[in-house]
A and B are shown apart, each in its own frame.
Chain A
């Protein structure tokens, strides 16, 4: 963690050309964040439109700068945001653009950290088990779609990125890292995973402990704090978890059809609300793209302003805990 003397505050660059209502939710989120976080924010998009919209939204103009993006309506906002991030040494990007666009443009514009060959998209999900000094219920899954097919050394790289991130963000000194597999039987997994498991076991030590293989049935129990996977399987898994939460929500709505069920749901109201809060992805602060020279936080296209505020909070936390430097230091030492 940086000392107060050497602390340089990040600038949070929010792409307000993507997301719900043509980016209006993103703008409202950034405006709300300007009232609550003492961190400079830049909103990137069509400036006259932003200025008109800001007249209606409470915000702090001292902390909120506007950057005009040419061709904002046709996706120019994301590229302009990333270009400004590339030019600003201490900055973080928040965007709700389609993930494939973010991955493509971020790789084009932002350099990788020197010790990283492939960036990883990380997502948090709630688990039964609590972890870290603050009893954090969230575990980290990566990669969830940046690299569809990853080699064993790339999986090791991602394990290190995930472990460093979890250590700082969840205040979990030695996170347990597991490798996602079809089974926990070592003799029944593909050779690529076996190779990765061997690399992880060898690299484990002070930075993380290797919890071995984990299959889908153990994920939500939270045996591991960080689960490493290739992008294809990871994305499949995270979508399943999100879909499960959405389905549970719909099932709950059905309960309203019968009086006795409705009564039961009403009596459990507080607990259900707490569970809802826990599983609502808008509370998580988005999925960080790790391994690039600047942190990039991606949000789903349906993200509402609350998700943007939480993403801005996460960006401020990443800066405060100097996560980028820690990622850089850790990956430079990765054995090849």
Chain B
């Protein structure tokens, strides 16, 4: 079943009343009562982390805070989402990562260097799991992340969440399941079946079911799930979750979607664009990703016209018009035959049990296969 749920509308500018620092605990509720909660995964979503081999793991563990690389555009996007000047409603950020707790100090320092202060920073008790021989819990993410998401929810009547993850593990699955749980679309029996199918330990299942019990109907909602395609997985892997899940190749694509959702002003688009440019992105490369988003139906010609106008205006104000990018984008879009694409459907009854059994559930190792093949 599909239903045309509209993306969250931006509240009027007059309602942007927050005066608090980005990510601070004490931000007040806006007049609209909406509170925006951004939940980020860390590795491969915010940080460029490699942990495919043992050597990668050791190197990651030994890196200093200033040696850790941020995914291009991620820091700027997050700062723009939390920026006091661009706040349309109170905003918070939480990090939930599969990294071990022993890395807290260095990771917190990395975020501090980036000027980001999360409300909560949850890390995985990997050592504890290992010592208790809970091997499935060391590797698995479903039980750990779902519990962390439920536990660290901000308990307010009107919370809108945007979740950021990547394609290395099961972020789209977990986030989508979480979104449906808090929307009251999944009952305890069904959740139990799903968690058993995901091979979550019984004790963890009990805790998750207890947390589910505390949910009140329609308490908050997950408006978007942004999946960074770090491994360049085929986007087909995410179609089963509907339009709420948007796989992106870079954070300018994410910015465009969030701009369309009313989460970001035009000026922020310019900042993310410039951040990518600083990382060596050419106008053509970004224009190609704009074309990709439009071909997949996440960017309409009408929305792109707004993007053009906003970017142009912001560029004029700041004295840095992004003319090369706009020209490249127009050219890329001209090459596409049919620009207007139906928006992908919003799916309310994701078949989580069937997904666990499907090949698409497994994190891809395709890129590695590709590299092997090419060698």
Contacts and interface: CB of A to CB of B under 8 A. Distances in A.
B288 A67 contact: no
A58 B235 CA distance: 8
B61 to A, nearest CB: 28
Interface stretch (A32-40, A214-222, A232-240): A32-40
B295 A56 contact: no
Q: How large is the interface on A (under 10, 10 to 19, 20 to 34, 35 or more residues)?
A: 20 to 34
Interface string B326-355: 000000100111100000000000000000
B232 A36 contact: no
B interface secondary structure, majority: helix
Nearest to A59: B232
Contacts of B370: 32, 35-36, 58
Nearest to A47: B337
Interface residues of B, number: 32
Given A35-B367, A61-B249, A47 B288 contact: no
Given A35-B370, A51-B296, A58-B234, A40 B337 contact: no
A57 B235 CA distance: 8
Nearest to B297: A51
A65 interface: yes
Interface string B82-98: 00000000000000000
A51 B296 CA distance: 7
A62 B289 contact: yes
Interface in B94-123: none
A60 B232 contact: yes
Interface string A76-92: 00000000000000000
A36 B291 contact: no
B233 interface: yes
Interface string B227-245: 0000111111001000000
A16 to B, nearest CB: 14
A55 interface: yes
Nearest to B331: A65
B233 A68 contact: no
Given A58-B370, A61-B249, A66 B234 contact: no
Interface in B280-339: 281, 284-289, 291-292, 295-296, 332, 335-338
A63 B285 contact: yes
A154 B86 CA distance: 68
A94 B292 CA distance: 22
Contacts of B232: 35, 58-60
B374 A62 contact: no
A309 B285 contact: no
B152 interface: no
B262 interface: no
Contact of B291 (A58, A59, A65): A65
Given A35-B370, A309-B374, A62 B288 contact: yes
Contacts of B288: 40, 61-65
Nearest to B364: A58
Given A60-B249, A66-B291, A67-B335, 15 more contacts: A47-B295, A47-B338, A48-B337, A54-B234, A55-B236, A55-B296, A57-B234, A61-B249, A61-B291, A62-B286, A63-B288, A65-B287, A65-B288, A65-B291, A306-B373
15 contacts: A32-B373, A32-B374, A35-B232, A40-B285, A46-B337, A47-B338, A48-B337, A55-B235, A55-B239, A58-B232, A58-B233, A58-B366, A58-B367, A61-B289, A65-B291
Interface of A: 32, 35-36, 40, 46-48, 51, 54-68, 70, 306, 309
